[in-house]
């Protein structure tokens, strides 16, 4: 019996993988399946230990260490705590404790802030008005970061309480907020989160009989028995490697670029894409016909600075040929330590050339709001937890300023979560309006908006798209175009119209599988076709003519 836990019943639309994964902004795989109260089992007024807090934070964020054999620079680490210490150490989250972690000691509010900020790779302004916090220290930066996000609150206006021990109720509240389960969310959202948690489930797959038995099972079992009993080079027999390669071969036989078997390290990489940060070049990529292809370089990333563009094919990394490699193996050749260089051999429109990229820690912001006079420009860089839970509140603030128009910039947005796309559309159309048609083997269903709009219907809207706008971006553009609520400006979008679901098995391996196709509310097929703008404006490297056209339409 193999147990598989469904990580995302909220659907993932972005089948691409980031080479420099994202910030801690998206829903962590499995986050809704983990209950804070169950992970951090302490009474409301009970003092929380360092070990309990670190273990709970690492488990809830689903973090795992990439280095499992390297020695740790700490003394007296209990074996049961070692996996959590390793994961936290790799995020530089234990510096507040020194070499002797003393995990049984109580954790202070200041130390908890430092741990959680480091696990999320956050750093705030070092200036502080708190009399008990020294300015421009790691502690000050961490406290500024968690307070700014509403995860913790000062005990008084000019006093944070950094040396006070952390109690159970505050620790649980802090962790909930860091997972996007803030007590101050709009009233409608907790109900939806409860529905998502209720949908998280454990399924059991019986691989020994019935309709789920393996193809050629008798032959596979016989081959393995012969290897076990008669193969000469016994040291080369690796049961895990054999099983993983068999699973990979089965999945590869489906010939779907968005469906893949993930070894434990691969699941960890996917989790960081959904909610994390790694060192790399900063590009969303996917595998097309065995070739690693750029969906979009992330804004401000090393890939963008090096001039990589959507649809660039990455044929080599240094001297390693990537074509034909497993997707995650190819990705790992491009990722690497911060500050190191990788020479990529690129094919673009038939021409081939080399590009050298300096790897860096890439953080992906999610929502940026600026103003061009009376016109609000809302830039979405991906569809994740921030968009899903906080965007509507930001749009209400824009509405209160009575804008002349709104520009929704989805250029180079590779997608994300289906429900986040629904949330975006809900700001501009009436409650119950169609967002997408979802077609699966179970049948067809309509995905519709759940909330009332935040933006008045008489405020004009322009949506900017390009060839790097994929998946959830195309859902939003297609829905708003079908409802004639927005003018779409730019170039034709990427053309990804399928939905993936992720399952994780009991050995921490997993599988990302295409389970549905989506179409626009009027039934337009997007997969392979994309969304064609109402006003086509080609990219200009010297001037942002697409944005200028949007401003012209609204003025």
pLDDT in tens, 448-458: 998 999 999 99
Per-domain boundaries in the chain: 31-184, 278-361, 367-554
* CB of 303 closer than 8 Å to CB of 52: no
pLDDT at 477: 97
> Do 89 and 72 contact (CB within 8 A), yes or no?
yes
Top-confidence residue, 287 or 409: 409
Q: How confident is the model at residue 212 (pLDDT cuts 50, 70, 90)?
A: low
Specify the range with the lowest mean pLDDT, choosing from 50-59, 258-267, 312-321, 479-488.
258-267
Q: What is the 3-state secondary structure (H, E, C) of 41-95?
A: CCCCCCECEHHHHHHHHHHHCCCCCCCCCCCCCCECCCHHHHHHHHHHHHCCCCC
**Catalytic residue (one of 496, 509, 512, 549):** 496
The one catalytic residue in 49, 269, 433, 471 is 471
Q: What is the pLDDT of residue 4?
A: 41
Comparing 91 with 202, which gets the higher pLDDT? 91
pTM: 0.54
Q: Is there a catalytic annotation at residue 482?
A: yes
User: Rounded to whole angstroms, how far apart are CA atoms 460 and 476?
Assistant: 16
CATH class for the region spanning 278-361: mainly beta
Q: How confident is the model at residue 43 (pLDDT cuts 50, 70, 90)?
A: confident
- The answer to whether 471 is a known catalytic residue is yes
pLDDT, tens only, 492-535: 999 999 988 878 777 778 888 999 999 999 999 999 999 999 99
Q: Which of 132, 275, 312, 482 is catalytic?
A: 482
CATH fold for domain 367-554: 2-enoyl-CoA Hydratase; Chain A, domain 1 (3.90.226)
In angstroms, the CA 418 to CA 502 distance is 13
Residue 329 has pLDDT above 80, yes or no: no
């Amino acid at each position: 019996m193999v147990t598989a836990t469904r990580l995302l019943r909220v659907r993932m639309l972005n089948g691409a993988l980031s080479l420099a994964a994202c910030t801690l902004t998206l829903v962590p795989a499995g986050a809704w399946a983990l209950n804070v109260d169950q992970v951090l089992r302490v009474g409301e007024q009970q003092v929380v230990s360092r070990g309990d807090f670190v273990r709970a934070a690492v488990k809830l964020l689903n973090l795992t260490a990439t280095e499992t054999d390297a020695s740790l620079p700490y003394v007296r680490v209990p074996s049961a705590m070692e996996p959590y210490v390793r994961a936290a150490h790799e995020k530089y989250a234990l510096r507040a404790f020194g070499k002797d972690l003393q995990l049984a000691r109580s954790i202070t509010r200041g130390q908890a802030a430092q741990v959680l900020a480091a696990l999320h790779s956050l750093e705030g302004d070092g200036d502080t008005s708190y009399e008990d916090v020294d300015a421009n220290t790691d502690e000050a930066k961490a406290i500024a970061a968690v307070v700014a996000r509403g995860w913790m609150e000062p005990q008084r206006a000019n006093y944070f309480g950094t040396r006070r021990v952390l109690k159970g109720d505050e620790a649980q509240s802090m962790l909930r907020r860091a997972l996007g389960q803030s007590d101050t969310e709009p009233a409608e959202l907790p109900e939806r989160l409860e529905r998502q948690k209720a949908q998280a489930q454990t399924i059991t797959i019986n691989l020994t009989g019935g309709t789920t038995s393996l193809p050629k099972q008798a032959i596979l079992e016989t081959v393995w028995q012969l290897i076990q009993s008669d193969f000469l080079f016994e040291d080369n027999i690796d049961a895990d490697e054999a099983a993983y390669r068999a699973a990979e071969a089965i999945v590869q036989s489906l010939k779907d670029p968005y469906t893949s078997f993930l070894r434990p390290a691969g699941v960890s990489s996917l989790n960081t894409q959904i909610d994390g940060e790694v060192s790399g070049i900063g590009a969303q990529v996917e595998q097309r016909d065995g070739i690693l292809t750029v969906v979009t370089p992330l804004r401000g990333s090393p890939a963008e600075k090096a001039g990589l563009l959507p649809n660039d094919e990455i044929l080599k990394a240094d001297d390693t040929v990537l074509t034909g490699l497993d997707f995650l193996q190819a990705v790992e050749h491009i990722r690497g330590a911060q500050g190191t260089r990788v020479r990529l051999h690129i094919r673009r429109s038939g021409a081939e050339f080399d590009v050298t990229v300096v790897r860096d820690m890439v953080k992906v912001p999610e929502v940026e709001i600026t103003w061009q006079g009376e016109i609000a420009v809302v830039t979405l860089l991906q569809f994740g937890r921030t968009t899903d839970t906080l965007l509507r509140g930001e749009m209400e603030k824009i509405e209160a300023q009575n804008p002349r128009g709104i520009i929704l910039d989805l250029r180079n947005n590779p997608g994300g979560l289906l429900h986040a796309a629904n949330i975006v559309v809900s700001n501009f159309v009436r409650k119950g309006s169609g967002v997408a048609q979802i077609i699966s083997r179970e049948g067809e269903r309509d995905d519709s908006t759940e909330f009332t709009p935040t933006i008045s219907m008489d405020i004009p809207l322009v949506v900017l798209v390009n060839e790097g706008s994929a998946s959830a971006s195309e859902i939003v553009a297609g829905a708003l175009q079908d409802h004639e609520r927005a003018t779409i400006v730019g170039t034709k979008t990427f053309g990804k119209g399928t939905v993936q679901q992720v399952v994780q098995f009991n050995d921490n391996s997993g599988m990302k599988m295409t389970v549905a196709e989506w179409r626009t509310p009027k039934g337009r097929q997007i997969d392979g076709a994309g969304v064609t703008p109402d006003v086509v404006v080609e990219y200009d490297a010297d001037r942002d003519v697409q944005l200028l056209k949007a401003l012209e339409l609204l003025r």
